[in-house]
Structure 1
Amino acid sequence: MKKIIIILVCSFSLLSFTYNELDGYITLFENSNSGKYFKYGKSHYFEFFAKQKEDINNQEYYVRYRKYSWGDVDTTYYRKGNTYYYHIDKKSLKESIVLPVKPVLGDNWLENDKSWSYEVIAVDQKFKTPKKKYKDCIKVHCKQLTDRDSGKSKEFFLYYSATFGFVGNVDSQGNILSYLSEVKLNAKEGESIGGN
């Protein structure tokens, strides 16, 4: 918990980082001292992975924490298969596809309970944010098929970079909902991430 608090301290400007240290549409699995800082409207959230994997239903999962500026924390359990990245619901022990490992135009899938549909609708996209322009992105259309998540929009679009993983999302009119603002790799004690 001490490392979390140290990394969450806000006040650092946008850091530079080398492209070869991040690789893939889902990133940061292996290093608990690395994290991502996202702007989310007037708020923000911070993502990082636990040091240890967790065994669930005879599979090993990486544990990702997302801490929001208002205090909530989400926990998601990921694993990489041969064809897809998956996440699992710890209560139902049902897996859903997060993203193909090598996504191509037209790839589509459903949440395991058929509440959401996903489709890769564009490749080689740029995603421009107030901090950075991300290249080589795929654009995934998300559509809610039931009212399971009634507090969420019926549809939105996710952007994943081949280098940085998830870099943000937009609503159906193209307005940015959240975006990757900063990445900190291999943080040492006392270093911080994020800012106002």
Structure 2
Amino acid sequence: MKNITLIVLLSVSMGCGSKRTVVEPSANAYYPVGNYDAKFKYVDTDAYVIHKDISKQIEWNQIAYSVREIQYSWGKKVETFYRLEDGNVLYYDVASNTESMIMPKNPKVGFKWVSTDKAWEYEIVQLDGELETPQRQYSNLLVMKASQVTGRDSNKLSEYHNYYQKGIGKVASIGDGMLMTFRLYQ
């Protein structure tokens, strides 16, 4: 009996010890995290920006975040930090040491939220948006309005409309009613 108990205990402990924790890519259909690579072109210029999820995680306040590297054509490079919680995509802002939701799990038209630092308000304004870019015609897009609340970011417009395609992520941004950036496909 002791031998059987010992074998069972060894089997259980070996089975538990061999399990690995794997960080799965985002389950958020409109804002992938962990497996997102995209290149966006600025309209009417040769400038572009590349968003690339890199195989790196970082911890802030004992919470793990996936790292996304943003590379601009003019040489600037920054890292941004995202995580998934209950299907919601959260973004960690190093400057304000705050975390804010960037995309809800189940977006609904009219749903609004404010960034934790109270600088930006977001609203889902459409789930069936249409948009034409120089590369593609889109339909059934989620359209999110982002509005400055405090005017803190004086180098940015006061309002943007960002367009997201289910299963793909962001495809374009509009500011002042004009297309600003759009996703490039190769």
Is TM more than 0.5 here?
Answer: yes
Residues 160 and 167 in structure 1, CA contact (< 8 A), matched pair in contact too = yes
Displacement of 1:148:
1.0
Pairwise CA RMSD of aligned residues? Answer: 1.9
Using the size of structure 1 for normalisation, the TM-score is 0.75
Q: Distance in 2 between matches of 1:147 and 1:46?
A: 27
The answer to which structure, 1 or 2, has the higher relative contact order (CA under 8 A, 6+ apart) is 1
Aligned residues: 158
Q: Distance in 1 between matches of 2:95 and 2:154?
A: 20
Using the size of structure 2 for normalisation, the TM-score is 0.78
**Does residue 26 of structure 2 align to residue 24 of structure 1?**
no
Displacement of 1:89:
1.9
Q: Distance in 2 between matches of 1:47 and 1:160?
A: 14
Pair 109,83 (structure 1): closer, same or farther in 2 beyond 3 Å: farther
Structure 2 runs not aligned, ≥5 long: 1-26
1:5-53 superposed Cα distances (whole Å, 9 cap, x missing partner):
xxxxxxxxxxxxxxxxx972112514xxx62111013110111011122
Larger gyration radius, structure 1 or structure 2:
2
Residues 157 and 172 in structure 1, CA contact (< 8 A), matched pair in contact too = no
Structure 1 runs not aligned, ≥5 long: 1-21, 184-196
Residues 28 and 89 in structure 2, CA contact (< 8 A), matched pair in contact too = no
Which residue, out of 41, 55, 61, partners 1:51? 55
**Paired AA for residue 133 in structure 1:** Q
Q: Distance in 1 between matches of 2:84 and 2:111?
A: 17
Q: For 1:147, what is the secondary structure of its paired residue? A: coil
Q: Distance in 1 between matches of 2:164 and 2:147?
A: 17
Displacement of 1:107:
1.1
Which residue of structure 2 lines up, in the alignment, with residue 141 of structure 1? Answer: 145
Which residue, out of 103, 107, 110, partners 2:111? 107
Which residue of structure 1 lines up, in the alignment, with residue 19 of structure 2? Answer: none
Which residue of structure 2 lines up, in the alignment, with residue 17 of structure 1? Answer: none
Which residue of structure 2 lines up, in the alignment, with residue 70 of structure 1? Answer: 74
Which residue of structure 1 lines up, in the alignment, with residue 125 of structure 2? Answer: 121
Residues 139 and 160 in structure 1, CA contact (< 8 A), matched pair in contact too = yes
Q: Distance in 2 between matches of 1:55 and 1:113?
A: 20
Pair 23,85 (structure 1): closer, same or farther in 2 beyond 3 Å: closer
Displacement of 1:147:
2.0
Q: For 1:51, what is the secondary structure of its paired residue? A: strand
Pair 89,28 (structure 1): closer, same or farther in 2 beyond 3 Å: closer
